[in-house]
Amino acid sequence: MKVAIVYNRDTQNVINLFGVPNREKVAMKTIKRISDALKAAKHQVQLIEGDKDLVERLEHFMPRVVKGERPGLVFNISYGIQGQARYTHVPSILEMVGIPYVGSGPLAHGLALDKVMAKMIFRQHDLPTPDFAVMDSRDDPLPKLVYPLVVKPRNEAVSFGIKIVRTDKQLREAVRVVQETFQQPVLLEQFVKGREVNVALIGNNPPEAFAPVEIILNPKNPPIYTYEDKIRLSGREVKLQCPAKISDKLAEQSQQLAIQAFKALGCCDCARIDIRVDQKGKLNILEVNSMPSLGENSSYATAAAQMGLDFNALVNRLVEVASARYFGTPHPMKLDLKETEQEQAVLSFITERRDRIERRLRGWTHIHSRTTDPLGLQEAGKKLAISLTEIGLKPAEDFSDQRGVSTWETARGFSQGTLLIGHLDVPLNPEVPTQEFRRDPEWLYGEGIGLSRAPLVMLEFALRALRSLRRLQRLPIGVLYYTDEGNDASQSAELITTAAANAKHVLILRPGNVGSKIVTQRRGQRKYRLRVESAPVRPGKASKKPDALQWLCERIGDITALSSRQDRIAIATYDLKTTAFPMLLPHAATANILLSYGEVHVAEKVEHQLQQMLRQRQGIRSELEMISDRPPMTARAANRKLAKALANVAERWEIPLDQESSLWPSVAGLVPTSARVVCGVGPVAKELYTPNEAVERMSLIQRTLLLAEFLAGA
């Protein structure tokens, strides 16, 4: 499990500094001991300061989870940075963003830290606590309490500002010091002469009480456990006696009283209850420490050790009781591979490898294989071959060639099974700058990450999950990768069609669209090159015939006018270039024409109109050449049925999935009608074909799970 240790120590990373600063610090030695204990239990650990960047750091370390996945856990030892109810700050943030954590929630911390409110609750539950009063300033009327009194801040911990007073003058002076130092009301409490014991609790419903620990102070004043005692600066010896040398009956009573106080304040997982035993053996609750110290010499660790829990065992037991509270059991249940448990096994395989998946994706973005880079494509092809061979797939020679199409299959082959098609090349123009891998809490960025790399990594780990179940080789699955997407798949088109005709289902590993969409219909796209020539003309020479550039510009408006929303036709001209001799007007001009269409017969009609338009020569020689033709992916009931099967899997895991049509073409249009096809099953991506291309982190995991589950049942 991922466990983030969240603490406060030296940071001032806040928007503004105001209010009472926290004086309570966690020793780095203690933080390291907790970290070492968690790592010894094979947890993945990260240390994080509980400041304004907490949420962002947690999102990096433990991003959102899919249904059924156990999220990471925070081991909270944060005392807060500043302001009121500081113990509640980090738990409140964790509650808001939905991250489980060890320890009490903000309400219990707030009640425990407010000693006056805690004592009022104790009284409501008939739990014994010394008489008390509150003063807001030294000039307030004095309470009707009998000296000696204990004076302390209302909302502080670890004995900050605690003092025993025996006269009115001492009382008013102590109130002034506390009020000025801590800027809060002052609690006055009847001093109970006797012995002080602590009872440590762990667990829930009900918590388990450790043996009481007695705080033994030497006769030197004051007769209370001070902050200076706790940090070993008082100059006197303090001993912890565990078990406390009290009667078995009194020990049991103190344990029961501690449990009642724990429940009254609504604490969780752990706490330490401080109790005073008077000279007649009567118990009085002093306070509840809802975040007990885990320091090496703390009474909490001492009590745990007496119960047989060394420090490592104690820390990991705290993780277990918190896990039991959130997830119902401290450990994942053992899985067998019955049908009902198989899904959970696939989920566990994928979600437990989140970091590995992202590292793998990062590695792929470092392989630069743009369409025009044969060496990069060769390197990418070798890497893919190694990966698929390692997974257990074998080459399908009948559906591979030397021009950039490589196909693999399981031992069963993929005839009447599922063929997955993706491309290795990154179809970016050479002038687009290279983007290095980076991530933020929601998105992963990198070279070709959405168009090529994330779908590829998704495929790899979906297949690895099936292999872990020993099911992969029994499934009819094929994988085809081509390397000329940037050239409109012109070289690979024929072989893609042949391979797809051999399958029942075809999934195109293109990125999903923002909004968690898959694509069941795509327009076709044709590219033409128009070349226009005229006789060379000197500038300013009178002529009734237009030059090549002038004539082409006049035609561009006519060409664009052929667009028709009703006929689902969009036509545009781009990449205009001219050729001219020195001191003469351009005698040649070329332009590319892009035709987006829904149906082939409509595209043929528009092409005929283009040819007719270009016959208006006026001394102009023109030539229209088709560069590429990407067939449309037509809307078919069979495709919608395949999309529905994917949606059914997604619904079981509460993975968002919707359908849409797209203006962009893909190799889905090459799939014959004998096979069902769905496009855009890769992770959701944004800003494709730009330097800011990114893939959604959560979708990377969701779509990997979706693909694995679909293949397992297809």
Tell me the per-residue pLDDT of 19-61, one tens digit each, with 9 for 90 and over: 777 777 888 999 999 999 999 999 999 999 999 999 999 988 8
Q: Which amino acid is at 144?
A: K
Enclosing domain of residue 618: 527-630
Q: Please report whether residue 569 resides in a domain.
A: yes
563 confidence band (pLDDT: 50, 70, 90): very high
Cα(419)–Cα(413) distance, integer angstroms: 10
pLDDT at 226: 61
Q: Are 266 and 207 in contact (CB under 8 A)?
A: no
- Hey, what are 479's tokens? 């994988």
Last residue within a domain, chosen from 101, 121, 149: 101
- pLDDT tens-place string over residues 141-175: 999 899 999 999 998 876 677 888 899 999 999 99
Structural domain total, the chain: 4
State whether 254 and 362 are in the same domain: no
pLDDT at 62: 86
> What separation in angstroms does the CA of 59 have from each of 75, 94, 98, 439?
15, 11, 11, 11
pLDDT at 538: 86
End-to-end CA distance of the chain: 32
Last residue within a domain, chosen from 82, 101, 120: 101
Q: pLDDT: is 297 or 558 the higher one?
A: 558
State whether 126 and 224 are in the same domain: yes
pLDDT at 525: 97
Cα(103)–Cα(290) distance, integer angstroms: 8
pLDDT at 300 over 60: yes
Q: Are 571 and 559 in contact (CB under 8 A)?
A: yes
Cα(613)–Cα(351) distance, integer angstroms: 59
**What percentage of residues in the chain have a pLDDT greater than 90?**
74
State whether 471 and 618 are in the same domain: no
State whether 639 and 667 are in the same domain: yes
228 confidence band (pLDDT: 50, 70, 90): low
pLDDT at 239: 86
Scanning 125-247, the segments in alpha helix (DSSP H) are: 168-182, 227-230
The CATH number of whichever domain residue 267 belongs to comes to: 3.30.470.20
- pLDDT tens-place string over residues 465-490: 999 999 999 999 999 999 999 999 99
Please name the helix (run of DSSP H) or strand (run of DSSP E) that holds residue 464, with its range, or none: helix 454-468
pLDDT at 333 over 90: no
pLDDT at 306 over 80: yes
pLDDT at 334: 37
Closest to 269 (Cα-Cα) out of 289, 252, 285: 289
657 CB burial (10 A radius; 0-12, 13-18, 19+) = buried
State whether 87 and 117 are in the same domain: no
Q: Are 349 and 465 in contact (CB under 8 A)?
A: yes
Q: Please report whether residue 52 resides in a domain.
A: yes
pLDDT at 227: 58
The CATH number of whichever domain residue 558 belongs to comes to: 3.30.70.360
The CATH number of whichever domain residue 468 belongs to comes to: 3.40.630.10
Q: Please report whether residue 24 resides in a domain.
A: yes
Q: What is the mean pLDDT of the chain?
A: 91
337 confidence band (pLDDT: 50, 70, 90): very low
Q: Please report whether residue 235 resides in a domain.
A: yes
pLDDT at 234: 57
Average pLDDT, integer, range 423-432: 92
State whether 406 and 448 are in the same domain: yes
> What separation in angstroms does the CA of 653 have from each of 160, 188, 332, 505, 643?
50, 56, 18, 22, 16
Task: Report the relative pairing of strands 238-241 and 208-209 from DSSP bridges.
Answer: unpaired
pLDDT at 332 over 50: no
Scanning 584-679, the segments in alpha helix (DSSP H) are: 600-613, 637-652
Q: pLDDT: is 194 or 444 the higher one?
A: 444
pLDDT at 546 over 90: no
What is the b/e burial string over 511-545, where b = at least 16 CB atoms within 10 angstroms of the residue's CB? bbbeebbbbbbbbbbbbbebbbbbeebeeeeeeee
Average pLDDT, integer, range 390-412: 95
pLDDT at 360 over 50: yes
Spatial strand order in the sheet of 511-512? 438-439, 443-445, 694-696, 682-686, 511-512
Which range has highest mean pLDDT (90-104, 235-249, 537-551)?
A: 90-104
State whether 518 and 642 are in the same domain: yes
The DSSP result for 262-314, as a single string, is HHHHT--SEEEEEEEEETTS-EEEEEEESS----TT-HHHHHHHHTT--HHHH
Please name the helix (run of DSSP H) or strand (run of DSSP E) that holds residue 695, with its range, or none: strand 694-696
Cα(30)–Cα(317) distance, integer angstroms: 17
State whether 415 and 495 are in the same domain: yes
State whether 567 and 605 are in the same domain: yes
121 confidence band (pLDDT: 50, 70, 90): very high
State whether 626 and 639 are in the same domain: no
Residue in the block written with tokens 């973005």: 365
Last residue within a domain, chosen from 630, 661, 690: 630
The DSSP result for 477-513, as a single string, is EEEEEES-GGGTTTTTHHHHHHHHHT-SEEEE-PEEB
pLDDT at 663 over 70: yes
Q: Please report whether residue 666 resides in a domain.
A: yes
- What region does 162 belong to: left with phi over 0, alpha with psi -120 to 50, or beta? beta
Cα(110)–Cα(89) distance, integer angstroms: 10
SS3 state of residue 387: helix
- pLDDT tens-place string over residues 269-293: 999 999 999 989 999 999 999 999 9
Q: Please report whether residue 704 resides in a domain.
A: yes
State whether 203 and 63 are in the same domain: no
Q: Please report whether residue 477 resides in a domain.
A: yes
pLDDT at 335 over 70: no
Q: Please report whether residue 28 resides in a domain.
A: yes
- pLDDT tens-place string over residues 577-618: 999 999 898 999 999 999 999 999 999 999 999 998 888 677
Q: In sequence order, what are the residues at sequence separation of 6 or more whose Cβ sits closer than 8 angstroms to the Cβ of residue 182?
A: 20, 153, 155, 156, 160, 161
Query: What are the helix and strand counts (H, E) for the chain?
Result: 19, 31
The CATH number of whichever domain residue 40 belongs to comes to: 3.40.50
**What percentage of residues in the chain have a pLDDT greater than 70?**
95
Average pLDDT, integer, range 507-518: 93
341 confidence band (pLDDT: 50, 70, 90): low
State whether 532 and 496 are in the same domain: no
pLDDT at 225: 66
- pLDDT tens-place string over residues 230-253: 656 556 677 889 999 999 999 999
